[in-house]
Structure 1
Amino acid sequence: MSKVILITGGSSGIGKSIGEYLKQHGFIVYGTSRSPEKYANHPFKIVGLDVKDVSSINNAVAEVIANEGQIDVLINNAGVGITGPIEEIPEAEIKNNFDTNLFGPINVIKAVLPQMRKQNSGLVLNITSIAGYMGLPYRGIYSASKGALELLTEAFRIELKDFNIYMANIAPGDFATNIAAGRYHEPLKKDSPYKKYGSVLKDIDDHVDNSGDPIAVAKTVLKVIDTKKPKTHYKVGDFMQKFSIVLKFLLPDKIYEKMLINHYKL
C-alpha cells in the first residue's frame, strides 16, 4: 500500500519539488496552502492549511485522514525567511517568523501524532536550514527559528521512541527557489548605524539566485523515507555550506566568528 505524505507549504519551491518527486515514486501526496483554490491544476492535491492557525491545521490533518485513512510521513516544509539587523526588526515580524518556522511545525506535529500512534508507525521530517547551525549576521532571527526546530527534533525523537515514530531534520543550504519573494527584509534606512546590511542582503539574494536545483532536497527526502531508522540530522547543499557546519564544531568560537566576518566582508 502506498504511503501517504503530507507536506506543509507544498505549493511552490522546495515543497513542490519534494511533492512532485515523491508522487513520481508512487506515493500519495498532499501539499498545503493558505489558498488551495489557486492550485486546482497542481501536480498533487493541495489542502487548505495555515500553520499559524491551529484549527486550520487540525482540519487539514482530519481531511487527509478521512480521505486516506492514514498519514505515514509529515514533511514540515512551510517556512519564511527574514533578514535585517536584529535591533531594527519589528517585534511583530520576529514573532511572525517564529510562529511560522517553529510554533507552526510544533502544532502540525501535535496534530499528526495521535494518528501515527494509532498506526504504530510514522515519520516526521522537519525542513530546517544550514543557517540554523550558526548565528548568521543579518539573518539572526531566521537562524534562531530554524536552529530551535533542529533542537526540538532531538528532544522529540527520544520522547517518541516507544511508538515506532521517527523524526529527522533535513537542513538545506541555498537553493534556487522563490523564497526571497516571500521573505520579510527590514528596509535599508539612510540613518541606520548598520551600513553594511545592504551588501549582505545583496550577497544573500545572489546566492539564492545562483544556487542549485531543489530536486537535491527531494532526493534526500526519499532516501530518508526509505531508511529503516533515520539519523537525526541530514544536510543538503554544496561542499562549503556543509563543511561550514563541521568547522563550527571544530574551530574555537572566535576563529569561526572571524571567518564569518571575513566571508560577509564585515
Structure 2
Amino acid sequence: MDRKVVLITGGSSGIGKSIGTYLTSKDFKVYGTTRNLKNYPDFNAFELLQLDVKLPDSIEKAVSEIISKEGRLDVLVNNAGVGITGPIEETPHEEIQNVFDINFHGPVHVMKAVLPQMRKQGGGKVINITSIAGYMGLPFRGYYSASKGALGLITEALRMEVKDFGISITNLAPGDFATNIAAGRYHSPVVDGSPYQEVYQKSLDLMNEHVDAGGDPIQVAEKIYAIIQKENPKVHYPVGEFMQRLSLFLKKILPDKIYEKLLLNHYKL
C-alpha cells in the first residue's frame, strides 16, 4: 500500500515539527505548513508548504497542491495555534479575535477544505490538537481555554456528522510541553495601577515555569502515531504529565466549587 499522506498545520517548529519528524521516520509522506515559507530556507525535516489558517484561500491552495501531487490526503493534524494570556477585562478585543481566528476558525476552515477529498476517497482521519486547558476556565488564560474548548466541542459534533463517510475526527489535548509557545504567546501587558497587576504578574511567572518544565513533545508525536493506527479512535485523548491528566478526572467528579478551590490554590490566587 502507498504511504499515508499527512498534513500538519503549524509544522515548522514545536509540537508540529516533532509530529512531522516522527511520522516521517515511520514512513508517512508528511506535509507541514508555515505562515511564511521564506523564514525556513534550509528546512529539510519534511516538505513544508505555505499556509495561513487565517486565510481560507491559502488553505485551499495548500490542500489542492497536496491532492494534485499525491492524489489523496489520509490524515489532517490541526496543530497550528497561538497562546494568549491576560485578565479577561483588560485583554484587547483585537487579540481576542486573533486567538479565535487561529485556534478555532482556522482549524474549522482546514477541516472544511480536506473533508471533500476524504469523503471522495472513502475515509480519513482528522486529529485536532486542543489543550488540557480547553477543559476548564483557567485564570488569566480564559480566552485560550475558550478557543481550545470551542474546538473540542466542534470535534465532538463533526465526528457524528461525518461518521458515515468513514472519516474519524479526534481531539488530542496536550498539557504543558517544552516548546516555543511561550515566546509566541500574546501577553496582555501588566498595567501599572491595574487591580490585576500583582496577581496577573504572579500567574504569568507561574505559567512560564510550567512551560519551561514541560515534557518532551515527542510524547505528542507518539500519541498521534498511535491514534492513526487505530481503526476507530476515541473522541478525546489527553497527553501530558500525570497531574495534568488527573486534573481532567477531578474536573469530572468534583463539585465545581471544590475544583475551583484546587485551581485557586494551584495558581496561588
TM-score normalised by L of structure 1: 0.99
Are 1:225 and 2:221 counterparts?
no
Residue aligned with 1:193, SS: coil
Q: By how many angstroms is 1:37 displaced?
A: 2.6
Q: Matches of residues 12-27 of structure 1 in structure 2 within 5 Å?
A: 12-27=13-28
Are 1:85 and 2:98 counterparts?
no
Equivalent AA in structure 2 for residue 18 of structure 1: I
Q: By how many angstroms is 1:39 displaced?
A: 2.4
Equivalent AA in structure 1 for residue 119 of structure 2: R
Partner of 1:41: 42
Equivalent AA in structure 2 for residue 46 of structure 1: L
**Quick check: 66-75 or 14-23, which moved more?**
66-75
Partner of 1:235: 238
Rounded to whole Å, the distance in 1 between the matches of 2:38 and 2:224 is 27
Rounded to whole Å, the distance in 2 between the matches of 1:36 and 1:160 is 33
Equivalent AA in structure 2 for residue 158 of structure 1: M
Q: Alpha-carbon deviations, 1:163-208, whole Å to 9, x = none?
A: 0000101000000000011110001111110130001000000111
Rounded to whole Å, the distance in 2 between the matches of 1:18 and 1:164 is 24
Rounded to whole Å, the distance in 2 between the matches of 1:96 and 1:35 is 17
Work out the number of aligned pairs and report it. Answer: 266
Equivalent AA in structure 2 for residue 265 of structure 1: K
Partner of 2:134: 132
Partner of 1:98: 100
Rounded to whole Å, the distance in 2 between the matches of 1:49 and 1:213 is 26
Rounded to whole Å, the distance in 2 between the matches of 1:90 and 1:187 is 10
Which consecutive aligned stretches of 4+ in structure 1 deviate over 3 angstroms post-superposition?
A: none
Rounded to whole Å, the distance in 1 between the matches of 2:233 and 2:59 is 26
Equivalent AA in structure 2 for residue 205 of structure 1: N
Partner of 1:31: 32
Pairwise CA RMSD of aligned residues? 0.6
Rounded to whole Å, the distance in 2 between the matches of 1:257 and 1:216 is 29
**Quick check: 124-133 or 39-48, which moved more?**
39-48
Out of 150, 167, 170, the residue aligned to residue 168 of structure 1 is 170
Q: By how many angstroms is 1:214 displaced?
A: 0.3
Q: By how many angstroms is 1:212 displaced?
A: 1.0
Rounded to whole Å, the distance in 1 between the matches of 2:220 and 2:50 is 24
TM-score normalised by L of structure 2: 0.98
Residue aligned with 1:50, SS: coil
Rounded to whole Å, the distance in 2 between the matches of 1:119 and 1:179 is 35
Are 1:211 and 2:208 counterparts?
no
Equivalent AA in structure 2 for residue 23 of structure 1: T
Residue aligned with 2:88, SS: coil
Q: By how many angstroms is 1:38 displaced?
A: 2.6
In the alignment, structure 2 segments of 5+ residues that lack a partner are: none
Residue aligned with 2:179, SS: coil
Partner of 1:251: 254
Q: By how many angstroms is 1:40 displaced?
A: 3.4
Out of 238, 263, 266, the residue aligned to residue 263 of structure 1 is 266
Identity of matched residues, %: 62
Are 1:50 and 2:29 counterparts?
no
